[in-house]
């Protein structure tokens, strides 16, 4: 068998109700005892959850009272009442009163109930970004600004500020510092005396393991407010070791000395040889060298040219 259910919506009977924590709430839904074979339901709809039936009754007069936790549903003359005793933040939801008769479902009333906790009066939590590159060993100061307005504040509890670090390789952020409830620096706005800005600073000398995104969290009146986050990237610069550099310079000096000795010996040998043959020889020496201390390739070339026509060359290449 196939059943067809007819659903009727009336947008004109949807309203919004704002209450404070621990405040009592009463929602009314019309009921006519002359409706035959009719059931009435109160349904609560919370985001990301299935609808929940919090109370039901028949249309005719009945003394039955239903209780679910701190929610009570019962009949009163001409109405089906839902009463919440001491509303909690978890009671924030959409409440529907539904009439069901045979295969016809009618939404009689809808109410969005918003339960608000004590207002800490905090209007913003911001963090400054780092503009200059950071290297290991550098001192870094992170700042978090908390802006509040005392006119909107209904909670007398002081706030505390915490610093968290989030890293890609870690599944959860880690707590690294707590300020308690004292700001490093607070000032009131010259335009409005009720507005105040407190700046919280966190400083440390960083290492390569401190890379990550740092968040300041403000905890007050049962709420936690997070800043926009400050990303810290550590630039690791490769520096040559001083001892290694001195060793390379020493070896280059030795190589240069040896090459000069070899050149001098070569010139002497050629001159002696030419004396016996009676020929005159002309010499000049070209030194071509290229040295990069940041690479492994070091090159030193010495070229000696001789004879009247410069027809023959000797090349000595070291490294």
pLDDT by position in tens, the chain (length 319)? 444 444 545 545 788 999 988 899 999 999 988 888 899 999 999 988 888 999 999 988 888 899 988 999 999 999 999 999 999 888 999 999 999 988 888 888 899 999 887 777 888 899 988 878 888 888 998 989 988 887 777 777 778 889 999 988 887 888 888 876 555 678 877 777 778 888 888 888 988 888 889 999 988 877 888 999 999 888 876 655 556 777 888 888 888 888 888 888 887 787 777 667 665 555 544 544 444 444 334 444 444 444 444 444 444 443 3
Identify how many contiguous H helices and E strands the chain contains and give both numbers: 1, 22
DSSP 99-111: EEETTEEEEEEEE
Question: In 59-147, which ranges are continuous DSSP H helix?
Answer: none
Torsion angle in degrees (nearest 10) through CA of 24, 29, 34, 37:
-100
In CATH terms, the superfamily for domain 122-232 is Immunoglobulins (2.60.40.10)
pTM for this prediction: 0.48
DSSP state of 236: P
**Distance separating alpha carbons of residues 7 and 100, to the nearest angstrom:** 9
Q: What is the pLDDT of residue 80?
A: 94
Distances (CA, A) of 182 to 37, 158, 179, 242: 65, 9, 6, 46
Architecture of the domain whose range is 6-116: Sandwich (2.60)
Q: Do 6-116 and 122-232 have matching folds?
A: yes
Q: What is the pLDDT of residue 197?
A: 86
Pinpoint the alpha helices (H) of the chain: 242-277
Torsion angle, alpha carbons of 130, 133, 137, 138, to 10: -50
Nearest to 86 by CA among 42, 26, 28, 41: 26
- List CB contacts of 288: < 8 A, sequence separation 6 or more: 301, 302, 303
How far is it, in rounded angstroms, from Cα 275 to Cα 255? 30
Give CA separation, 21 vs 35, 42, 47, 209, 286, in Å. 37, 21, 19, 44, 92
Contact predicate 202/142, CB 8 Å: yes
Supply the pLDDT for residue 238.
61
Q: Quick one: pLDDT at residue 318? A: 38
Ranges of each domain in the chain: 6-116, 122-232, 242-318
The C-alpha atoms of residue 74 and residue 86 are separated, in whole angstroms, by 17
Produce one character per residue of 258-269: b if its CB has 16 or more CB atoms within 10 Å, e if not: ebeeebeebeee
The pairing of beta strand 93-101 with beta strand 79-84 = unpaired
Per-residue DSSP letter, 12: G
SS3 42: strand
Neighbouring CB atoms inside 10 A of 214's CB total 23
Task: For residues 315 and 305, give the distance between their C-alpha atoms in angstroms, rounded to a whole number.
Answer: 9
Coil vs helix vs strand at 11: helix
Angle at 153 between CA 150 and CA 154, to 5 degrees: 145
Pairing of β 104-116 and β 14-20: parallel
């Amino acid at each position: 068998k196939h059943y067809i259910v007819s659903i009727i919506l009336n947008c004109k009977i949807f309203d919004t109700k704002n209450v404070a924590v621990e405040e009592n709430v009463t929602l009314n839904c019309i009921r006519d005892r002359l409706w035959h074979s009719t059931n009435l339901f109160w349904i609560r709809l919370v985001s990301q959850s299935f609808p929940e039936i919090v109370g039901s009754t028949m249309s005719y007069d009945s003394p039955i009272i239903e209780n679910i936790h701190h929610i009570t549903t019962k009949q009163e003359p001409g109405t089906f009442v839902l009463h919440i005793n001491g509303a909690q933040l978890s009671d924030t939801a959409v409440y529907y009163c539904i009439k069901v008769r045979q295969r016809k479902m009618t939404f009689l009333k809808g109410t969005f109930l918003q339960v608000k906790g004590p207002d800490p009066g905090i209007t913003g939590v911001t963090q400054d970004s780092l503009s200059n590159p950071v290297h290991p060993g550098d001192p870094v100061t992170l700042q978090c600004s908390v802006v509040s307005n005392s006119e909107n504040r209904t909670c007398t509890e002081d706030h505390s500020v915490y610093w968290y670090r989030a890293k890609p390789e870690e599944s959860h952020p880690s707590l690294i510092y707590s300020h308690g409830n004292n700001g490093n620096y607070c000032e009131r706005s010259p335009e409005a005396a009720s507005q105040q800005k407190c700046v919280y600073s966190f400083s440390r000398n960083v290492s390569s393991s401190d890379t990550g995104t740092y968040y300041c969290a403000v905890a007050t009146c049962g709420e936690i407010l997070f800043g926009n986050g400050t990303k810290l990237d550590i630039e690791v610069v490769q520096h040559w070791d001083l001892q290694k550099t001195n060793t390379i310079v020493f070896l280059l000096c030795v190589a240069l000395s040896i090459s000069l000795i070899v050149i001098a010996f070569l010139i002497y040998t050629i001159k002696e040889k030419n004396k016996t043959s009676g020929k005159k020889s002309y010499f000049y020496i070209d030194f071509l060298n290229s040295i990069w201390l940041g690479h492994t390739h070091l090159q030193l070339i010495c070229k000696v040219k001789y004879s009247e026509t410069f027809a023959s060359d000797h090349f000595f290449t070291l490294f």
